[in-house]
Structure 1
Amino acid sequence: MLSTEVTTYTRYPSSQDREESEASTLLSPLQDGDSAPNQDAVAPFGWSLNCKAMVVISVGLLLFGSGTALSLLFFTQVGNVPYLLGPLFLSMGLMFLVTGLVWMSILKPSLQHRSFTTVN
């Protein structure tokens, strides 16, 4: 019978009892023959590591693009756009974009290491 258990240990037992105390709780019992949910589901290779970084980059691009558009609207005096709205969106978008690009460059070695370990 397969099951998922959470086991907790006390790190520093009291001076009276030096034995390690253990408490386990059954989370989800599985019947015989059942398989764990999502046990066979495997995420695409690079997506599991790059998902958050790609979202940050796309949010940065959207903010940067909207900041560019708002700045152009302000400087051409086409619309009634507040003065700081364009530069605010530009700076926030650039911050998100640079953060996502640096995050991707940090994740690149772990992707290469993961591909090396799966090939060999």
Structure 2
Amino acid sequence: MKPTVFAVSDMDRRTSQISTDHETQETEASSPLNPVPEGVTLGTNLPCWYYFARPLLAILIGGVLFSSGTALSLLYFTQVGNVPYLLGPVFLSVGLMFLVTGLVWVPVVKQRLEHKALTKINEFIFNFCS
């Protein structure tokens, strides 16, 4: 049985080089390292909402939970309704946690996108000059 040598290129993870007895052939990788959603091809610009969908969802859920916690707390302290004691503060704290997480997540995603754009520009300039 002949040994087979596998060499994976660091520059392009989508394809791999397989060498057997001085022959080189390029084949498609069987499973990608970074899964990509269906309908999106690698190397294209994704729409802005794709990157900000999860942070905005966290902000939305946090706002709803925070406002419902505020309403439940007001109902408890005004003794208008029969509301359990801890229900308002629990909704307030969980809502605030989601809200702050989403608000911090947005600048992180923005900075990551700017870094990715600068990296692409630097690669283009490096490839163009050399």
Distance 2:99 2:46 in 1: 25
Aligned to 2:112: 110
Amino acid corresponding to residue 19 of structure 1 in structure 2: T
> Which of 1 and 2 has higher RCO (CA within 8 Å, sep 6+)?
1
Scaled by the length of structure 1, the TM-score of the pair is 0.61
Equivalent of residue 68 in structure 1, options 67, 70, 81: 70
% same residue: 47
Change (3 A) 1:42 1:24: closer
Aligned to 1:49: 51
Report the RMSD for the aligned CA atoms in angstroms: 3.4
Q: Secondary structure at the match of 1:78?
A: coil
Distance 1:19 1:115 in 2: 39
Distance 1:100 1:25 in 2: 35
Aligned to 1:93: 95
Change (3 A) 1:73 1:39: closer
Scaled by the length of structure 2, the TM-score of the pair is 0.57
Aligned to 1:19: 4
Change (3 A) 1:17 1:74: farther
Aligned to 2:14: none
Q: Identify unmatched segments of 5+ residues in structure 2.
A: 7-17, 19-26, 31-37, 125-130
Shift of 1:42: 6.5
Shift of 1:73: 0.3
Q: Identify unmatched segments of 5+ residues in structure 1.
A: 1-15, 27-36
Shift of 1:20: 3.7
Distance 1:110 1:95 in 2: 22
Equivalent of residue 77 in structure 1, options 56, 76, 79: 79
Distance 2:76 2:50 in 1: 40
